[in-house]
Amino acid sequence: MLDSANYNREIVDSELQVSIIAALKDEIRAFGSASLLVSGGSTPKRLFDLLSNEKLEWDKVTLSLVDERFLPNGHTDQNGELIKEHLLKNEAIKANFIPLVFDPADAENNLKMAVKAFENVSRPFTVVVLGLGKDGHTASLFPDSPMLDKAMDKNSSEILLNVTTPSSPYSRITFSRKVLLDAKNLFLHYYGVEKKEILDSVLDCTNQEKYPISGFVNQQENILKVYWAM
């Protein structure tokens, strides 16, 4: 794990912006296309606004989410709406956005449609930006989810999974830990002392059931680059 900590949120966001764009440019230069998976929540709003103004061949970038609430498109609690408002605009409006909800009436059919939507997107993904919840979750990998073991399995063949959790009012769809962990560039972006204390605790605790983020922090397969601010 590499930790890029700074007390100034704007500086941290700018540093992460530079890292993301550099990775996408390198990938486009080498392979002709790139992919970016981001997290929802309030933390990345400024980052998204910054990215949206970047001069990049966005038409060669596939953009999506690490997870999504299973809600109709247009619902204010859907992460996709956050992406449309703050990232899928300005220069970045040309990106190929793939949502995770296609059939809001049928979760199982939606899962099949979502998996199919990514059939022609090269993996591993170029950039994955994870967030951190106050309970130690990331993406929709929640400590109280009955699907946690399956979603966290490094040997899983699942790309996406439907998950439920008592701590959330909505069912969700999430990429598996294996797919996220395989990313060529894996970032963790979060704010605040409380979450910093959680991450510090995770360093001494490999119990993924207590802190799912541990499955990304305490591993040797891929360097997790952490961007944190007060």
CATH of the domain at 83: 3.40.50.1360
pLDDT of residue 168: 86
Domain count, the chain: 1
The pLDDT score that the predictor gives to residue 203 is 85
Is residue 190 a contact partner of residue 129, using CB atoms and an 8 Å limit? no
Residue 189 CA to residue 82 CA, distance in Å, equals 16
**Mean pLDDT, 10 residues at a time, the chain of 230 residues:** 78 96 98 98 97 98 98 94 97 98 97 98 98 96 96 95 93 98 98 92 83 94 94
CA 65 to chain CA mean position, Å: 6
- The whole domain housing 209 covers 2-229
Q: What is the pLDDT of residue 92?
A: 98
In this prediction the pTM is: 0.96
Q: How far is CA 63 from CA 33, 36, 228, in A?
A: 11, 5, 23
